[in-house]
Every structure is written in structure tokens, then in C-alpha cells.
Structure 1
Amino acid sequence: MFEALGLNSLTESVYLAMLRFPDAGVSDLTRTLAVDEDQVRAALDDLARMALLRTPASGTETPRPVNPKVGLSALLARKEAEVARRRQEIEETRVAFTALLAQQSDTRSRMSEDGVERVEGIDEIRERLRELAATCEWEACSFIPGGAQSEASLTASRELDADAIERGVRLRTIYLDSVRNDQPTFEYAQWLAGLGSEVRTVPTLPLRMLIVDRKLALVPVDTENSAALAVEVSNRGVLTGLVALFNSVWKTSVPLGVTRRRDDEGLSPQEKQVLRLLGEGHTDEMIARRMGVSVRTARRVASTLLTRLNAQSRFQAGARAVAKGWIDPEDLG
């Protein structure tokens, strides 16, 4: 009924049930709708995000639904504004399209002159990676997100990495902590370390990246689909920023064989990162993808943290984690 406003069927059912039973808690809604508690909590997060739910900061009161005359009217107004904005964007795009096509050749030349070149398609990207590995002189720095790596990727990298190390190239590689959960990838990382490569891990990585001799960097255009299109960067200003990013993450990472310690609150680095992502409103699927773990693991960690914080929603969990000093407010995007 309200899908056009952004409510899926479950979220709509939870909202309508709360309007009928304003005092209903999570357990009541679970029984009434015959769904899992995690599904109800996810729906409550959606309602809070759409300003259809008032969540008390203290957590001592049951969240209450916003009057539909106010809440749904506001959603409708935002949708209408969004439609109008998109129409305007389409019109502006149509006007600019012809000019863009006319300038295409000039744009490609400018990209090359500015030190940014396109590398399109998985085959071309792999070929360029082989070329960079073969010509690397003294250092290669890599971010490798995604947890488990494909067999094809590991096979393609083995010979290149071994050759680089034999030539005296310093390899610095950062994987996700979750790499320990995938035996083939973990064994590959151990093999790298055994050859003298420096291998570290962190809870999350911002993107996939390779920096060669601090002269060239290869990064994907789309972090969700790194095989589709990458850019090779040689622009000195951009490279300086990418090298600084790598070194910043390197300082917070831990060597492959070192066990991360829990902090004074008993939180692991993985749990702290989940708290940050919860506070930013990420779903379990998004958290799992960012951390390279299964959705079930992400959901279990998130549920445990919500229970520890006595929070009714992930937004509230983030706020309470900040209030308790478990995470820094600046960590929330």
C-alpha cells in the first residue's frame, strides 16, 4: 500500500500493528505478526529512519508510532520533491548529453594528461596488474577487502608475488580480519608472510587498491564491483593522498599472526567497527559486505551489541555507544 513511500511490506505491517497497539513491544509485535525478532528490529530501524517512529533516548519507554497524518504526509511531500528533482536532473542531463558526446575525445586526452587513465573490464585489469607487478622496482602496497579471495585471484597472484619478493620488492598487504575465516585465503596470506612479505589485517577497508613504487595506483571506480572499471592514477597530488591513506590504515592494522586485544569495555575491534556501522544505519547485509563476514555473523554480533546497550534500534545503539565512550562521535559518518 505504501511501497511508493519507501515502506516494504514488513515495515508497513509493523507500522500498522503499532498504530493498532501503541504499547506493543518487540516481543508483542513478533507474536502478532508471526515473524522473527530480527525482522521486527530491522523494520523498526526503517521506521525510525523515515521519522515514523519516536524512539525515546532513555530507552525506558516503548517506541511509539508517529501519527500517520503527520508522518506519511511528510514522506509523501519528500517523495514529490524527489520526483520533481529527478525530473529536473533528467532534463539537465538531456541538455548536457550532446555536449558530452562532442567533448568525449577531448575528455579522454585530458584524463591522460591529468594522470588518470581508464582500465576497463576484468581481463584488462588483470593484464595491467601483471604489467605493474613485473615493472615494480621497490615497493607495492595493497588493500585487499572482501574476506575470502577467489581461487582464480589467488592463483594469478602467487607467481607475481613470488617473483616480486625474489627481486627484493617490499610487499605491504592489508587484508580484512575476517581473512582468518577462509582457509585458502589465510594460507595464502601465511605463505606471503613466510616469504618475507609484510601482511597485516584490519576490521574494514575503504576500497581495493594497489600502489606501485608510490608512482602509480590502481583503484576501482565502483567499490561494489571492482572488476568492471578501474582507474590508473599517476597524478602526484592524488597519489600523495592515496599513500597517506594507506599509511594511516597500516598504522592501525596488526600483523597477521597477532591476536587483537579487547579494549577496557571488553569490545573486540570487530565489535567496535560494527557499532560504528550500526550508528550509521547500515543493514546487516551491508555490514557483512564491509567486514567480509557472513550475514549471519553480522546479525549475531549486532544483536549482541544491541542487547548489551539495551537499545531498541541500531541508531539508538550508536548513540548510546557514543554516550558511553565506546566509540568516538567523529567515527560516525
Structure 2
Amino acid sequence: MANAKLSEALRLLGIGPEAGRLYLELLERAPAPLSAVGAAADLDGDALWSAYGTLVDAGLASAAAGPGDVVAPVPPAAGLEILGRHRAAELDESRITVGGAFESFRRQRLASEKDHLVEVVTGDAIGLRMRQAWASARSQIRQLDSPPYFPLPGATATEDALATLARGVTQRVVYSRESLELPGNLEKAIEPCIEAGEQARVLPSVPVKLVVIDESYALVSLSIREVDVHHTMLVVQPCGLLSALIALFEQTWQSALPFHGHTARPGGLPPADRRLLRLLAGGTSDEVIARELGISRRTLFRRIQILMARLGASSRFQMALQAQRSGWL
């Protein structure tokens, strides 16, 4: 096991397998004649001298005092420093070479007007691409959210979002009223993300279903509303269109109503009342709110009146403003 680890370490430093075998035998037998060490490593002739020359050039071996061709290993500190720098230089050169080759490829594609700044993704590939997008985020996700939703392979979209938030990625989402009205979506998908730190706002509708990953690329979902399914998704790479989509999100964000605050009132706010306020803020109908809360419309009206009284509001509009100022939305 120790020899295997040493051989791998030598390989990573640029020492080939034959020179590596010779060095291992050198450590076992030196000081000893080079021919004897070579025989133990199953090397002779040109192969032996080439392997030994590699070790000498790397600062790992040299001739030793004694009769004939006696050789021995030398303290590796200086040699390893040289090897390390050499490998780092090789890696830098490789990165430059690969990066240059890709840029050349891009220039050729752009010159021929075939560079795919907008990629079209369809079918089952949509779910996989969406999961990859969440996993690739490093600093910020900006999202305009509305049904219909595409089923994701493996974990749910909520689990992906929670994992992203746990990594410290900022997540800003503008939800449409339809997102809040979808049965169970507010309680099971939206609120867990808000509690985990997501910044959420709401509008009656959003202009497009959109996810922007950092400043790197955007996912634009095209859905067929008549059949309530995803059909196509566009992946937009850095270009003028991506800048326009980011500007569209920021404009939509500014006009949306926040509902991610945490109450500062004594005693807090019951989750059901917070959910009621969020549904009201999204313009959801009384019938849908009653269904989501599992109560009758009469009970709903009574709870709304109680909230209005607590906030000192005489209308639902005033209640929404006061709730936002109080950190209830």
C-alpha cells in the first residue's frame, strides 16, 4: 500500500512508471551499483539509463561514494520543489491551451453565425437541466414563478431550492397569483423556502417563467397552457438577450409586493394567518383562500375582520399595507 501511494505521488509529479520503479528499488537497496538496482526494477540498457537520468534531473538521485557505478537517493526537498513548480507551469499552460482552443471554436461558430447563444431543450431533458441549474448556482438565483410545473427527476423543486439556500445562495422569487392558488403549493413549496431565507414577492401575474443563474445564463420556460404542460425551455447564454431578461426580472421585482417578512409583533403571528395574508396579497379569491386554509367562507370573513382590527385597518387594501409595514408580509 505504501509503495502504491508513493508510485501515485511520483506519477503526479511527472515521474514515469519506469523511473518510479527504479526510485522505489533505490530506496530499498542504496547505496548500490546502478546495475543491481536496475535489475531489481527489471530495467537495463537504455531504459535503465533513461529512468536514472529522469531521477537525476528531478533531483531525486545521484552518484554515491564507492567503487563503480554506485548510486543513492538524495534529500528530495529541492527536487520536489522543482517538480512541483514544473507541474504547476504545465497545468497553467494546459488551461491556457484548452481555453484558447474553446475560444477559437466559439469565434469560428460566431463567424459562421452558428454559435448557439440560445439553446432549445425539450421533453425529459428539461427536468435534468433545471436540476443542474440549481446545483450550479454560486451566488444568486432570480426567478419568476408560475404554473404549470415540470416534474423533476429525483428530488422535488422545493428540495433543490432548499439545498441551494443552505449553501448560502441568495434566492429572489416573484410568484404569480396562480402559484399561490395551486392547491397546497403555498404551504408545501413556497413557505418552506421563505422560512429558509428566500426573498419572495408576489404579483397577479408574471410576464414569463424565468430562472437566472448568477450572471451566467437563464432558463426561459415555454408552456402550453391549454394542456397545462411544459413543452420547451430556452437556455440563454451571456448576450444581449440575457441582459434584457435580467432587467425584466429586476423591473418585475420592484413592482411586486413583498411577503417574506417575519413578524415583530409580540406573540408572533399564527402560520394560518400569515398564509391568509399572503394569499390576499396575491389577489387570490376568497373561495380559493378558504379552500387552502380548510375553513368556510364565513370563518374566513371573521378571521379577516379580526386581522383588520389588530392592524387598525378599515379595508383589505389598508390591511395589506399595515401588514407589510408590521413585517407580517
Q: TM-score, normalised by structure 1?
A: 0.41
The structure having more radius of gyration, on CA atoms, is 2
Q: Which has the higher contact order (CA 8 A, sep 6+)?
A: 1
Q: TM-score, normalised by structure 2?
A: 0.42
